[in-house]
Amino acid sequence: MDTKVGADSRAASPATVRSRVESEVRTWFADRPALDAPLLTAAVLLVAASAFVLVRLAVAAHGDISTFAQAGAQFTDPARAPHGLAVRSGSGYDGQFYYRLALQPWNLSWSAHGITFDFGFRRQRVGYSWLAWTLSGGQAAAAPYALVAVNLLGLGALGFFTGKWAQSLGRHALWGLLPAGYFGLVWSLSRDLTEITAITLVSPASWRGSRGTRCGRASPLPPRSSAARPLSW
């Protein structure tokens, strides 16, 4: 009797339960190979990010998508800023400068559209704003929507490439949700920042590099200088 109780106790240990759950999860996914698809990783991330944007827009932004840029009166003159841009008190946040560049990404003047740069390096980070300008068709009223849309599309693309990366390492594509779902990117999405664009542009090279390493070939990653350059986007 004591031996049986001891065996039952061991069978119900946390380690055993965890092992059983992991085995069942692996079996469940193995029986559904269609789920091992980078496009699914991209879709899951895009849906989750879109849901976050809708909740933030309804709750924190009170329906005003221009608040994502976090324009502050210290650098954005409410009297000269484009109509419809929400300007708060204080210094605001970095997104206001990328919003300004999204209006005219070729205009690198220190001050334009009522918004003044805080640091010169802002003018180096124009890739994200160029994409937003292209998506908005150069329409100022569409720029706040385009900035958010570029980040959403970037997260979807990032999910695809991290899903590919996971597969190249012998993992299920949905493991790609871990790097692509990094919480810092939520901060970038909520404030019209450039990190999503930068990381998405670098991710294909990382995926190709992992493929080359796994197959025993020299990594096809570009030189460090060129690989780091998109981070200024």
The domains of the chain are located at 1-31, 35-232
The position carrying tokens 């220190």 is 110
Q: Give me the amino acid identity at 56.
A: R
Residue 36 has pLDDT above 50, yes or no: yes
| Predicted local confidence at residue 43, as pLDDT | 96
Residue 17 has pLDDT above 80, yes or no: no
| Predicted local confidence at residue 203, as pLDDT | 84
Query: pLDDT category, 90, cuts 50, 70, 90?
Result: very high
- Helices and strands in the chain: count of H runs, count of E runs: 10, 4
* Integer Cα distance of 132 and 233 in angstroms: 12
* Integer Cα distance of 11 and 4 in angstroms: 10
Residue 87 has pLDDT above 90, yes or no: yes
| Predicted local confidence at residue 187, as pLDDT | 95
Q: Point out the least confidently predicted range of 69-78, 132-141, 180-189, 214-223.
A: 214-223
Query: pLDDT category, 224, cuts 50, 70, 90?
Result: very low
| Predicted local confidence at residue 86, as pLDDT | 95
pTM for the predicted model, two decimal places: 0.80
Query: pLDDT category, 22, cuts 50, 70, 90?
Result: low
Q: What is the pLDDT of residues 145-154, one digit of tens each?
A: 999 999 999 9
Beta-carbon-side half-sphere exposure of residue 145 (alpha carbons within 13 Å):
10
* Integer Cα distance of 34 and 87 in angstroms: 47
Residue 64 has pLDDT above 50, yes or no: yes
The mean pLDDT value for 176-204 works out to: 92
Backbone φ, ψ for residue 21 (5° rounding): -65, -45
* Integer Cα distance of 47 and 18 in angstroms: 29
Residue 72 near residue 87 (C-beta atoms within 8 A): yes
